[in-house]
Amino acid sequence: MKFSIIIPAYQAGATLERCLRSLAAQSISDFEVVLVADDNYDYEPLGSSFDLNIRYLRTTTSRSGPSVARNLGLDAAQGDYVCYLDADDCFSANRLASFYKALQDHKLVGDYPLTFDVHGTRIPAYLSQDKSLGLADFLRLNFPIKVAHSNQKDLRFDETVRFAEDTLFNARAICFFNTPLYVLADTSYHYYLSPTSLTSQNYEVIEQGYTELLTRVRCITEASEQQKQLIYQHFWLKRALNKVFFDYVAEFGPCSFPVFSKKLGVQP
């Protein structure tokens, strides 16, 4: 089996159909879906309407968080490679095929997301050619990249982190594999901003998230001291920029963080 696609699901009844439909439309079919419910909802009736190989798991405690759910998915994954998909997002039809091709030459692969705001309007994004990003270059990005990599049971999400856990995981993966992240310019991950997502909440919530992240950086066993310093500096600067971002939104209205960063001249 080529892929295990790990999907954490929390109150995802309204969006999961779109998510699974995109997987049913993949140009390759040699994959399994590991759907991990982090609530009391029964997703199996919804999933049964699709011709997909879906395994249903459940966290021990509801609202354990996406990192706990993804780690359960990693434990159960049987594919040669694993990739991650949020229940309110979706893949374009060629994503798995493109990733499989890239993974033959690169240990860690991601792509720039195609982002939509809460009204379904596409948010302007950077366009770029494929590129290999070391840790420092990756940390300069302002995109919620979802990666794919070989099935490694020792590479884990930090279960104490509920904010920017993807960025922290990707940084750890670069250190774990001791390799750059190969980023495809093809925007085959469709990322939908949600009014209820952590990244859509208030300044205090995100400020607390960054503060918790900073305490966790020293616990990254995969990273050297120099790498830990890079990661720490990244989250420290993002915490500082967070206040400026919310001041901007209060003054000029809603804006995605990538667009805000572009206005500041921050380039990927």
CA distance 169 to 164: 9
Q: What is the pTM of this model?
A: 0.90
- Residue 123: closest CA among 105, 102, 144, 107: 144
Looking at residue 122, the DSSP 8-state letter turns out to be: B
Residues 174-200: what's their mean pLDDT? 81
- Residue 231: closest CA among 136, 108, 160, 133: 136
Structure tokens at 158: 């930090």
Q: Report pLDDT digits (tens) over 23-56.
A: 999 999 999 999 999 999 999 999 999 999 999 9
Q: Report pLDDT digits (tens) over 119-141.
A: 777 876 665 689 999 999 999 87
Terminal C-alpha separation, the chain: 34
Structure tokens at 64: 């354990």
Residues 83-99: what's their mean pLDDT? 96
CA distance 27 to 228: 39
Check residues 143 and 158 and name the one with the higher pLDDT.
158
pLDDT of 152 > 80? The answer is yes
Please give the domain boundaries of the chain with CATH numbers for all domains.
3-200 (3.90.550.10)
Q: Are 13 and 46 in contact (CB under 8 A)?
A: yes
- Residue 131: closest CA among 172, 79, 93, 182: 182
Residues 161-176: what's their mean pLDDT? 92
- Residue 256: closest CA among 163, 125, 137: 125
Instruction: Map 16-37 to HEC letters.
Output: HHHHHHHHHCCCCCCEEEEEEE
Q: What beta strand segments (E) does 54-199 contain?
A: 54-58, 81-84, 90-91, 108-116, 131-133, 147-150, 181-192
